[in-house]
Amino acid sequence: MQKLRKIAIIPARSGSKGLKDKNIIDLYSKPLIAYSIEAALKSGVFEKVFVTTDSEKYAYISKKYGADVLMRSNELAQDNTPTFDVAEDVLKRTQNINADYFVLLQPTSPLRNENHIKEAVKLFEQNYDKFDFLASVTKAHHPAVLVHPLGENNSMKYFDIDYSNYKRQNYNDYTPNGAVYIAKVKEYLVQKHFYGAKSIAYIMDEVSSIDIDNIIDLELVKIIKEKYIND
């Protein structure tokens, strides 16, 4: 198989509400987004590494760490803007690269490194004739058998199962961790998401899968980096 051309897309809008400016929040004297940019560049597998953002400040930081930047409109930087719309915008504006597929890397996964990216890309390309998409996953904290909605008046009628013999090791449920997404360009523009029968899972460990969504996640990553990771 001939060499497949691929680009990295790192979406980084400003205006996060949980953690202010989450995508550039300081993590050991480095803005959060830098970890994803550096991982993408260190992997050495991409034609280009693009950051798509609505912020001039984010753009400056991204360029400083070596990424190409595509400024996006305010319409593509809202809380409810679908990932598809953002990725589609980048794909349309980079058609000259003729990428066969792209890798989406969210900046909130700082413990996903260049080795994870290379492994995911290798897995995807080894199965290129069978799958059109890839999504990274990790072992679920709570198997699906334990997760149900509550009924009226907080009724547990949907938990009508005898849990007395429940054993965690009997279940192998996985959940997307948001660290790595891969899609063939043409197929993604039709399907508009990364999941389904034509998607292969790239399994990651729990620590590398941490996605920073709130202050607790951030502090956990700091502890892990301080005690176990020296980069």
For every one of its 231 residues, what pLDDT tens digit does the chain have, with 9 covering 90 and above? 679 999 999 999 997 877 889 999 999 999 999 999 999 999 999 999 999 999 999 999 999 999 999 999 999 999 889 999 999 999 999 999 999 999 999 999 999 999 999 999 999 999 999 999 999 999 998 888 889 999 999 999 998 888 887 877 778 899 999 999 999 999 999 999 999 999 999 999 999 999 999 999 999 999 998 877 665
Is residue 99 included in any domain, yes or no? Answer: yes
Decide if 55 is inside a domain: yes
Which residues are CB-neighbours of 55 under 8 A, at least 6 positions away?
A: 12, 13, 14
The CATH number of the domain holding residue 89 is 3.90.550.10
Domain assignment of residue 187, given as a range: 6-139+173-228
Question: Alpha-carbon torsion 114, 116, 179, 211, what sign?
Answer: negative
- Count CB-CB contacts under 10 A for residue 206: 10
- Residue 158 inside a domain? The answer is no
Residue pLDDT, tens place only, 56-115: 999 999 999 999 999 999 999 998 899 999 999 999 999 999 999 999 999 999 999 999
Residue 152 belongs to a domain: no
167 is a domain residue:
no
Write out the two tokens for 70: 């595509």
Q: Is residue 1 part of a domain?
A: no
Dig out the tokens for 10 from the structure.
């790192």
Residue 65 lies in a domain: yes
For 39, what's the count of Cα atoms within 13 Å in the CB-facing half-sphere?
Answer: 30
Backbone angles phi, psi at 8, to 5 degrees: -100, 140
198 contacts 147 by C-beta, under 8 angstroms: no
Using CA atoms, how far apart are residues 179 and 105, in angstroms rounded to an integer?
A: 6
Distance in angstroms (rounded) separating the CA atoms of residues 159 and 145: 9
The answer to whether residue 149 is domain-embedded is: no
Domain count for the chain: 1
